[in-house]
Structures are given as structure tokens and as C-alpha cells.
Amino acid sequence: MSLLSNEVELLRRVPLFAGIEPGKLKLLAYTSDVVTYEPGQVLVRKDDIGDAAYVIIEGDADVSVPADTGDITVAELHDGDFFGEIAILCDTPRTATVTAKGELTALRIRKEPFFQLMKQFPEMAVEMTRLLAERLTRTTADLIEAQQRQSA
């Protein structure tokens, strides 16, 4: 059984939450739900409107996007991975589907507590910005690389 104290430990290992004091992480954990998924059950589906972000407590998941030839797995998620934040930050539909590979337990962080925490702890917002900027840099680099490859 998942307990608050374990969840706090887990959250601390997520880079986004690393700078936040444990007491506040406990609040985040308490106001979130622990959800267990069966193998093959979908956590988030591409194009759905999202209202929560997830931290995997235990288990593995596939990230996939549908294609003409069937779903293509683009990444894998493991214990402690954090995902789904884009959809709740920008109210955009989910960008990919996440499916539990085996039995999986995740902490479902609802939009409201997440925003409350961001508001209360600027350091978390800064960390979030930094994370997103990093991702943007990487995506930009990927894009440039892809364009170069195409023109080559």
C-alpha cells in the first residue's frame, strides 16, 4: 500500500519538485489520488482533454502516438517519471497516449492543487519554466537537425 511518506520521497526525486520543502510535497501528495492501473489500461489518451498530471509510483508505461500502421511507441516511462503536465498547464488536448505495461500505480495530481502549489511556491514555477525551456531548447535542436538532414 502506498503511503504519504513514500509518496513524498518519490516526489522529491522528480526534478520539478526537487527544490520544494517536503511539507509542501506532502500536501501535494495528500491532495492527489493514488490510482492503480491494470496491464494495458490507458492512463491518458491522445486528444482527450486532460485534468491531471501523473507521477508513476511503481510500474512501467508506454508512450505512443497513433499512426496509419498502428500505434507507434515513442518512449517508455518508469518509476518516478512525471508526465501529463503540458495538458493541464495549457488546457490543450493530450499529445500522446500512455498505457500501463504491467500493473502500475501512479499518483494522479489534479490541476487545481498543482496550480495552487505553483502560485504559492514561485521556486516551483521557476523550476517548471526552466524545465519547459530546456525541453524547448532540445526540441529546437532536434528540429534544426531534422531540417538539416532533410535539406542534405
Q: Which residues sit at the interface with another protein, rule CB under 8 A?
A: 1-5, 7, 23, 26-27, 29-31, 33-38, 41, 43, 112-113, 116
- Among residues 112 and 142, whose Cβ is nearest to another protein? 112
- For residue 58, the minimal CB distance to another protein (Å) is 13
Nearest to another protein of 38, 68 (CB atom)? 38
Q: Are 49 and 86 in contact (CB under 8 A)?
A: no
79 CB burial (10 A radius; 0-12, 13-18, 19+) = middle
Whose Cβ is closer to another protein: residue 30's or residue 123's?
A: 30
- Minimum Å gap between C-beta 118 and another protein is 12
Q: Could you give the CA distance from residue 76 to residue 62 in angstroms, rounded to a whole number?
A: 5
Closest alpha carbon to 53 in 61, 44, 62, 45: 44
